[in-house]
């Protein structure tokens, strides 16, 4: 099964919550997803770890999935994160995503007990068999505790026809080429580690999976455009300018940092859900400095960094 036309900047939205009730704020989610599409993101990926999917009740998860896909309205491809501790719930989520119109689903090895290779293979096979959608395998040992080596991923892809994509987030650039070589180019490879965005593209990655477009879409898209057009020195300069911001949002936790940044931009997404706490005042002040610095940076040509036009 061919992968959907996923390439370029793949934007990961947060899930907004009401500050008063703590419930999912679906109108705010609609606005945020609309902003991402209208800013020019090449694809949207709701319900990743940035979207706090692990903290959602299943009825909430369904509502967030349906709302995000409805907001995209088929304008760009969508990749829905369906991961859960149990195979049963992951399968259920994959089917909901398919019914709601997702282009593909993304599966992380989300575990408590360390899974054997046979258990991982059974889990991924069951999820892939639940729908006809292409599947993106997500390798992020920093959060999952499971490192899916390129050899393991390529072997799984040979056994699972609709496992056509892999998001590799270790930051080990050599893995992008290894995944392509071991799969004879059958796998599309995506980068989930912000600092190596350019190295990943130069090693064959088809796309950059990132939450940064929630706050600075112009910068992310400019970097991709410069790299794609062969303006490598300009792309390098853009990434160098962005790196303090990109490192900050990961180091402070994407839901905390992105929601704090949206608040600073008067685009309210509420607090993260407990046990997560909002970003404290001192880091929030630093985030303001970083965003203001990007807004004033000469590479922006005087435009406000990443602030989309107000929704109408």
User: Which CATH number characterizes residue 158's domain?
Assistant: 3.20.20.70
Q: Is the pTM of this model over 0.85?
A: yes
Select which of 7, 12, 138, 259 is catalytic. Answer: 138
Question: Rounded to an integer, what distance in angstroms lies between the CA atom of residue 90 and that of residue 88?
Answer: 6
pLDDT of residue 305: 45
Asked if pLDDT for residue 109 goes beyond 70, the answer is yes
Cα distances from 282 to residues 200, 287, 289, in angstroms, run 33, 9, 11
- For the chain, the maximum distance between any two Cα atoms, rounded to a whole number of angstroms, is 54
Among candidate residues 167, 166, 266, the one with its CA nearest the CA of residue 210: 167
Question: How many domains are contained in the chain?
Answer: 1
Confidence of residue 310 (pLDDT cuts 50, 70, 90): very low
What values do phi and psi take at 208, rounded to 5? -120, 115
Specify the 3-state DSSP secondary structure of 26: helix
Summarize pLDDT for 21-50 with one digit per residue, the tens.
999 999 999 999 999 999 999 999 999 999
pLDDT of residue 160: 96
HEC assignment per residue over 101-131: CCCEEEEECCCCCCCCHHHHHHHHHHHHHCC
What values do phi and psi take at 129, rounded to 5? -75, -10
Summarize pLDDT for 248-280 with one digit per residue, the tens.
999 999 999 999 999 999 999 999 999 999 999
Proportion of the chain above pLDDT 70, given as a percent: 95
What value does the mean pLDDT take over residues 198-208?
97
Asked if pLDDT for residue 113 goes beyond 70, the answer is yes
What values do phi and psi take at 40, rounded to 5? 110, 10
CB 104 within 8 A of CB 133: yes
pLDDT of residue 300: 64
Question: Rounded to an integer, what distance in angstroms lies between the CA atom of residue 80 and that of residue 78?
Answer: 6
Is 138 one of the catalytic residues? yes
Does a structural domain hold residue 170?
A: yes
Does a structural domain hold residue 307?
A: no
Select which of 7, 12, 167, 190 is catalytic. Answer: 167
Is 12 one of the catalytic residues? no
Asked if pLDDT for residue 142 goes beyond 90, the answer is no
Tokens 């719930």 correspond to 89
Does a structural domain hold residue 175?
A: yes
Question: Rounded to an integer, what distance in angstroms lies between the CA atom of residue 127 and that of residue 146?
Answer: 18
Does a structural domain hold residue 269?
A: no
pLDDT of residue 152: 94
Question: Rounded to an integer, what distance in angstroms lies between the CA atom of residue 187 and that of residue 183?
Answer: 6
Confidence of residue 99 (pLDDT cuts 50, 70, 90): very high
Peptide linkage before 275 cis (omega within 30 of 0):
yes
Among 64-73, 121-130, 217-226, 295-304, where is mean pLDDT lowest? Answer: 295-304
Question: Rounded to an integer, what distance in angstroms lies between the CA atom of residue 83 and that of residue 123?
Answer: 11
- Residue 78 lies in domain: 8-229
What value does the mean pLDDT take over residues 6-17?
97
Does a structural domain hold residue 265?
A: no
Q: What one-character-per-residue DSSP string does 190-244 give? A: EE--GGGHHHHHHTT--EEEESGGGT-HHHHHHHHHHHHTT-HHHHHHHHHHHHH
What value does the mean pLDDT take over residues 72-100?
97
pLDDT of residue 234: 96
DSSP state of 40: T
pLDDT of residue 308: 41
Confidence of residue 141 (pLDDT cuts 50, 70, 90): confident
What value does the mean pLDDT take over residues 72-92?
97
Per-chain mean pLDDT for the chain: 93
pLDDT of residue 4: 56
Asked if pLDDT for residue 289 goes beyond 90, the answer is yes
Asked if pLDDT for residue 154 goes beyond 60, the answer is yes
pLDDT of residue 268: 95
Does a structural domain hold residue 62?
A: yes
Does a structural domain hold residue 305?
A: no
Cα distances from 132 to residues 59, 96, 121, 128, in angstroms, run 23, 12, 18, 8
Question: Rounded to an integer, what distance in angstroms lies between the CA atom of residue 130 and that of residue 90?
Answer: 9
Does a structural domain hold residue 262?
A: no
278-283 long-range Cβ contacts below 8 angstroms, 24+ apart: 279/252, 283/248, 283/252, 283/257
Confidence of residue 304 (pLDDT cuts 50, 70, 90): very low
Which sign does the torsion angle of CA 262, 33, 132, 169 carry?
negative
């Amino acid at each position: 099964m061919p992968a959907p036309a996923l390439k370029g900047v793949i934007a990961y939205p947060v899930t907004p919550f009401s500050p008063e009730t703590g419930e999912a704020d679906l109108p705010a989610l609609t606005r945020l997803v609309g902003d991402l599409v209208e800013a020019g993101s090449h694809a949207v990926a709701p319900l990743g770890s940035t979207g706090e999917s692990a903290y959602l009740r299943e009825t909430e998860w369904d509502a967030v999935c349906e709302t995000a896909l409805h907001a995209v309205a088929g304008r760009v491809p969508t990749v829905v994160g369906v991961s859960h501790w149990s195979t049963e719930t992951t399968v259920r989520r994959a089917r909901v995503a398919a019914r709601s119109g997702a282009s593909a689903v993304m599966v992380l090895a989300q575990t408590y007990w360390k899974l054997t290779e046979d258990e991982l293979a059974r889990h991924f096979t069951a999820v892939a068999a639940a729908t006809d959608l292409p599947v993106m395998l997500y390798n992020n040992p920093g959060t999952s505790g499971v490192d899916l080596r390129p050899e393991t991923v390529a072997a799984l892809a040979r056994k699972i026809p609709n496992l056509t994509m892999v998001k590799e987030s270790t930051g080990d650039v050599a893995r992008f080429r290894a995944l392509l070589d071991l799969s004879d180019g059958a796998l599309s490879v995506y980068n989930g580690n912000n600092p190596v965005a350019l190295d990943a593209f130069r090693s064959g990655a088809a796309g950059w999976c990132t939450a940064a477009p929630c706050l600075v879409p112009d910068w992310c898209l400019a970097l991709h455009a410069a790299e794609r057009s062969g303006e490598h020195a300009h792309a390098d300069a853009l990434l160098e300018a962005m790196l303090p911001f990109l490192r900050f949002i990961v180091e402070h936790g994407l839901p905390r940092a992105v929601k704090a940044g949206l608040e600073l931009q008067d685009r309210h997404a509420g607090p993260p859900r407990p046990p997560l706490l909002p970003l404290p005042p001192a880091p929030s002040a630093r985030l303001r400095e970083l965003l203001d610095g990007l807004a004033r940076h000469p590479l922006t040509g005087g435009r406000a960094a990443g602030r989309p036009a107000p929704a109408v």
